[in-house]
Amino acid sequence: DTGVSQDPRHKITKRGQNVTFRCDPISEHNRLYWYRQTLGQGPEFLTYFQNEAQLEKSRLLSDRFSAERPKGSFSTLEIQRTEQGDSAMYLCASSLSGRDTQYFGPGTRLTVL
Amino acid sequence: GNSVTQMEGPVTLSEEAFLTINCTYTATGYPSLFWYVQYPGEGLQLLLKATKADDKGSNKGFEATYRKETTSFHLEKGSVQVSDSAVYFCALSAYYGNNRLAFGKGNQVVVIP
């Protein structure tokens, strides 16, 4: 069991640029979640997938954000036209449906200059 | 909606002291309750969980009991070590639906030798 992995671990970008993050869940897990964590706060839910279907999106997920999980395995989160307010840690987690425990990756820390 | 409240502020204590971090929740139905720990520069690790009233979760000397009557899930450890220095998050997962996690703001714990 290799755990949840995320890439890159750190990303620095200029305002207005697009960025894409990748998450590889635990291999047999069919549920995948994205959360955002800002400094001094707990993680906040962004979106979740069951297999390849995106079943829920938080209102935090503006139309500049898009997430995919094309084959029900890895997922990508893209932010278009980044803003300084997008600076945060983006966390990915996975689980089996019907199980309440989520396992988190190390996160991608985004800094928008 | 579902929410979690953790006591305000960091916690600083000496090695071998007793640790308590308070957590209360608001939820419909019967959520599962979790404590996650985040070490510097890392993602969240599950510390312990409880899935129904009066259950006690325990791991690495930490304990928390699911109290439905007081809607609480306080974290305790009898004798902390320097290696326990981290940020601790209380979280809940809805009984139904997507099992997304709602987190408290977290408490920074600093253990001084």
Least Cα separation, residue A40 to chain B (angstroms): 7
Chain A / chain B CB contacts < 8 angstroms: 60
pLDDT-derived band at B95, boundaries 50, 70, 90: low
Contacts of A99 in chain B (CB under 8 A): 99
Q: Is residue B43 pLDDT above 90, yes or no?
A: no
Q: By CA distance, what is A95's nearest residue in B? A: B99
CA distance B53 to B21: 19
Residues of chain B contacting A105 with CB distance shorter than 8 Å:
43
Q: Is the bond preceding residue A8 a cis peptide, omega within 30 degrees? A: yes
pLDDT at residue A2, as a whole number: 73
Start-to-end Cα distance in chain A: 37
Partners of residue A50 in chain B, C-beta under 8 Å:
98
| 3-state SS, one letter per residue, for B4-65 | EEECCCCEEEECCCCEEECEEEECCCCCEEEEEEECCCCCEEEEEEECCCCCEEEECCEEEE
> For B49, which residue in chain A has the nearest alpha carbon?
A101
Comparing alpha-carbon positions, the chain A residue that sits nearest to B32 is A100
The beta-carbon neighbor of B43 closest among A33, A101, A107 is A107
Distance CA B55, CA B47 (A): 15
Segment A15-49, tens digit of pLDDT? 999 999 999 999 999 999 999 999 889 999 999 99
For B24, half-sphere exposure in the C-beta direction (CA atoms, 13 angstrom radius) is 5
Q: Are the Cβ atoms of A106 and B43 closer than 8 angstroms? A: yes
